[in-house]
Amino acid sequence: MKFPRRLALQQRVIPAYRSPFFDLLARACEGGLTLFAGQPLSVESIPTATDFAAADFTPARNRHFRDPQSSLYQCWQDGITNWLERENPAALIVEANPRYLSTRRAVNWMHARNRPVLGWGLGSPRGGNPIERRFRLNFLRSLDGVIAYSRRGAEEYRALGLGRVFTAFNAV
């Protein structure tokens, strides 16, 4: 069964190994798939994908604050709302990471139009100080659901009290 409309997906970066998955997902959407992602820092050495056979790709300008390995790392992606306005998706999937600050703006944009936003990620371990945990929980609760890559990740999301948790194993 195909998704009957246009789907949008945001990531900080798109690793090259995910390119076939996104093309497959694009073919499952009647309105197509639009991707929004930027480049990693050079110290990360992540080979990225920018050319897709079926998915539409819009490059983001990632503004990195600190090293991605730092618990204080944050990222802002310029142009996310312009991308949403231009692409006008029926639904949005975002990385379920509260450290990507512009994602909150995308969630608000979609919700102002009564459109769903799903987060996807590895899970949400309980680490961090109380302020970080509250910030993470508030962000996750702003989503309409989350997709975990594993059973353990799904259990971590459920332990936070999130109601709509799905598991999609991280393999193609």
Instruction: Specify the CATH superfamily of domain 7-167.
Output: Glycogen Phosphorylase B; (3.40.50.2000)
Contact by Cβ (8 Å): 19, 52: yes
As a whole number of angstroms, the distance between CA 69 and CA 100 comes to 14
pLDDT above 80 (res 125): no
Tell me the pTM.
0.93
What average pLDDT does range 5-19 have in this prediction? Answer: 96
What average pLDDT does range 104-108 have in this prediction? Answer: 98
As a whole number of angstroms, the distance between CA 121 and CA 95 comes to 6
pLDDT above 90 (res 91): yes
As a whole number of angstroms, the distance between CA 98 and CA 70 comes to 14
Tens-digit pLDDT profile for residues 148-157: 999 999 999 9
What average pLDDT does range 103-107 have in this prediction? Answer: 98
Tens-digit pLDDT profile for residues 25-35: 999 999 999 99
With H, G, I as helix, E, B as strand and everything else as coil, classify residue 88.
coil
Least confident interval from 15-19, 71-75, 98-102, 118-122: 71-75
pLDDT band at 171 (very low <50, low <70, confident <90, very high): low
- Which pLDDT value is given to residue 69? 80
What average pLDDT does range 28-47 have in this prediction? Answer: 94
- Which pLDDT value is given to residue 170? 65
- Which pLDDT value is given to residue 115? 99
As a whole number of angstroms, the distance between CA 100 and CA 109 comes to 15
